[in-house]
Amino acid sequence: MIRLLYLLASLITLPAAAQNLAHPDYIGGYQAWIAARYPDASSHLSSFRLSETYARNYEVDYWLGTSWCRMAGNEGAGASLLDWAYRFGTMPESERGKFHGELQACRQNQHGTPRLIAIATAPRATSRVQAKIYYVAGQKDGFGLSAPPLRLLQPLPAEEYARRVFAIADLEKARAATQARLTGARVHASGRFVIASLSPQHQAKDLESIARRLSHFLAYLEREYGMTLPDAVITVYLVPTPNKLVDLAAKVHGIQAHPATLGYAFQNDLSVTGVLTGTGAGTLLHELFHLAVRARFGDIPQFLDEGMASLYETTYLENEQYVAAPNWRGKALRAAREVGARVPLAAVITAPWFPDEPVSQPDLPRMNEENQAYVLSVARYFMAWLQLQGKLPAFFAAFRDRPLPQTWMPADQQALNIVTQVMGMPMAETESRFETWLARAIQIKDGESLPPASGLAPRSQPGIPIPKEIPREFIDRESSAQ
């Protein structure tokens, strides 16, 4: 599960993002917006949003949407952009309310001065931590989705994060700095990765194997989806147990993590942390997806971000493709259905980000923990179903490159229209076909191939497994609860 933590007190600058901070269209767009020169703001911000990495963030969409709402003939586009960000954008919940207020004002043709969302002192797209929680439906023991979100214990100085980010050409400097930061770790540098392991089982050859897998996966993401990362070293921290992850998160990042955490991605210093004692790098692939996707798709909906990331946590390598394999989320789906959880596919696709805080936002649905588990697991299997049909790259591109409506269209309808367009059939027919396949897919055992999509020939034997390591503690806890 994704957990989002905004570190508003300690922002940093990545090599590519540093250019955004001083980018003339970013600064000029904000200055024009503050001065109520909305056509000028629109010109600057539209150019910036389309051309730069880490530019599709919530403050840019807020300034752009509220500008359009105050430009004759553009009100519908402005309201549509604000609603997409309100429903699908990641931001502090205190800021989300501003989007809703401006959306309502735009729809009612009220054009007073918009509430302030200030310019960032560093790009906010790099100011979040995303963590993955192991869960099963009906879990009420303080673990799983009932576990508290990650919390900031002690903000680190912005300069400290900046010192941790190195250009790929400075790989050896990055390795030495990581070794000094985490004494006692085995540290290995390869390609664009520095891997620091506190797991005593790891030898240098294991870390090299992990680095090669991560490099291969990033090349696949670029080839398959056009994803790119800044020209910077990625640091990977490995620990042997969930409790050791809790300790490392506090020491290295100043973060309070829960023992149910499998791993997390931290964009402030371009790092990934995971529980790993072998070379089954599935959790790391999950987190790397999160790092890569937001460079050009900061407003990605929850179902697509989490669904695709979790697809890659357990895969087979077949003809240089990472193909989804059955995993523990199938068990989570079966358990969710047993306790009565069932969410229509359309509601999975349009589900807003689950807030870390116990807050309610107007016009956004709330879900209990069982339905959250259902949504996150269905998202993964829906991505697998699309992949088996060869439709996932086009599906992803259609969401990332969607044209903004020129007239008012609610965000949920925008998303469902994209699905209908890519699938070439009504939403009801897509759901019916997917449900037929899903009922078979969640019965498939680990180590086997997922069933083919309807109308396709049965798949051959699975390729090379790229497994995901589940800590023994989690398996024992689940078994004792049954």
CATH number at residue 186: 3.40.30.160
Domain of 264, in residue numbers = 126-299
Cβ–Cβ under 8 Å, residues 364 and 395: no
Verify that 103 and 130 share a domain, yes or no: no
The predicted pLDDT at position 453 comes to 85
For the record, the structure tokens of 8 come out as 């508003």
In-domain check, residue 479: no
Do 350 and 407 fall within a single domain? Answer: yes
- Count of domains in the chain? 3
Question: In Å, how far are 29, 173, 194, 195, 243 from 201, measured between CA atoms?
Answer: 52, 25, 18, 14, 17
Question: Which has the higher per-residue pLDDT, 326 or 455?
Answer: 326
pLDDT at 465: 83
pLDDT at 383 over 70: yes
Q: Bigger pLDDT: 457 or 181? A: 181
- Asked whether residue 287 is assigned to any structural domain, the reply reads yes
The residues near 259 (Cβ < 8 Å, ≥ 6 apart) are: 143, 242, 243, 245, 246, 473
pLDDT score of 4: 31
Instruction: Reply yes or no on whether the pLDDT at 445 is more than 90.
Output: no
**Does residue 169 share a domain with residue 93?**
no
With a pLDDT cut of 90, the percent of the chain lying above it is: 61
**Contacts for 177 with CB less than 8 Å, ≥ 6 apart:** 163, 164, 166
pLDDT tens-digit map of 202-211: 999 999 999 9
pLDDT at 252: 94
What's the pLDDT band for 357 if we cut at 50, 70, 90? low
Residue 91: inside a domain = yes
The least confident of 114-118, 130-134, 137-141, 378-382 is 137-141
Quote the pLDDT of residue 455.
64
Same domain, 83 and 226: no
* Residues whose CB falls within 8 Å of the CB of residue 267, separated by 6 or more in sequence, listed in order: 14, 125, 126, 127, 128, 129, 130, 291, 294
Answer for the pair 102, 85: CB distance below 8 angstroms, yes or no. no
CA-nearest of 266, 229, 222, 224 to 390 is: 224
Q: Are 346 and 445 contained in the same domain?
A: yes
Q: Do residue 256 and residue 334 come from a single domain? A: no
Asked if residue 288 has pLDDT above 80, the reply is yes
**Which H, E and C letters describe the chain, residue by residue?**
CCCEEECCCCCCCCHHHHHHHCCHHHHHHHHHHHCCCHHHHHHHHHHHHHHCCCCCCHHHHHHHHHHHCCCCCCHHHHHHHHHHHHHHCCCCHHHHHHHHHHHHHHHCCCCCCCCCCCCCCCCHHHCEEEEEECCCCCCCCCCHHHCCCCEECCCCCHHHHHHCCCEHHHHHHHHHHHHHHCCCCEEEEECCEEEEECCCCCCHHHHHHHHHHHHHHHHHHHHHHCCCCCCECEEEEEECCHHHHHHHHHHHHCEECCCCEEEEEECCCCEEEEECCCCCEHHHHHHHHHHHHCCCCCCCCHHHHHHHHHHCCCEEEECCEEEECCCHHHHHHHHHHHCCCCCCHHHHHCCCCCCCCCCCCCCCCCCCHHHHHHHHHHHHHHHHHHHHCCCHHHHHHHHHCCCCCCCCCCHHHHHHHHHHHHHCCCHHHHHHHHHHHHHHHCCCCCCCCCCCCCCCCCCCCCCEEECECCCHHHHHHHHHHC
- Of 107, 134, 159, the residue at which a domain comes to its end is 107
Looking at the predicted structure, is the pLDDT value of residue 440 above 50?
Answer: yes
pLDDT digits 0-9 by tens, 19-46: 455 789 999 999 999 999 999 999 999 9
Domain final position from 74, 107, 140: 107
On whether both 370 and 278 belong to a single domain, the answer is no
Residues 147-168, mean pLDDT to the nearest whole number: 78
Tell me: the pLDDT tens digits for 52-100?
A: 877 888 999 999 999 999 999 999 999 999 999 999 998 888 899 999 9
pLDDT score, position 5: 33
Tell me, yes or no, whether 217 and 285 share the same domain.
Answer: yes
Indicate if 157 and 218 belong to the same structural domain: yes
Q: Higher confidence at residue 327 or residue 187? A: 187
Average pLDDT for residues 385-406, to the nearest whole number?
Answer: 95
**Alpha-carbon distance 424 to 443, whole Å?**
28
Over range 4-10, report the average pLDDT.
28
The distance of Cα 129 from the centroid of its chain, to the nearest Å, equals 10
pLDDT of residue 473: 64
Whether residue 393 sits in one domain with residue 281: no
Q: Please report the pLDDT score of residue 356 as a whole number.
A: 58
Most trustworthy range by pLDDT among 61-65, 225-229, 403-407: 61-65
What per-residue confidence (pLDDT) applies to 469?
A: 78
169 with 292, same domain? yes
Between 21-30, 341-350, 353-362, 421-430, the lowest mean confidence (pLDDT) is in: 353-362
> Tens digit of pLDDT for each residue in 455-471?
666 566 678 888 777 77
Confidence of residue 1 (pLDDT cuts 50, 70, 90): very low
pLDDT at 141: 43
Regarding predicted confidence, which is higher, 91 or 213? 213
**Does 386 reside within a domain?**
yes
Is residue 480 situated within a structural domain? no
Least confident piece of the model among 123-127, 308-312, 335-339, 392-396: 123-127
Q: How confident is the model at residue 130 (pLDDT cuts 50, 70, 90)?
A: low
> Taking Cα atoms as reference points, which of 147, 126, 127 lies closest to residue 136?
147
> Is the model more confident about 146 or about 333?
333
Closest among 261, 251, 258 to 286, alpha carbons compared? 261
Domain annotation covers residue 453 = yes
Mean pLDDT of 230-244: 94
Question: What pLDDT is attached to residue 456?
Answer: 64
Please tell me whether residues 87 and 155 are part of one structural domain. no
Of 77, 107, 137, the residue at which a domain comes to its end is 107
pTM of the model: 0.89
Tell me which of 245-259, 414-428, 442-456 is least confident. 442-456
The reply to whether 36 falls in a domain is: yes
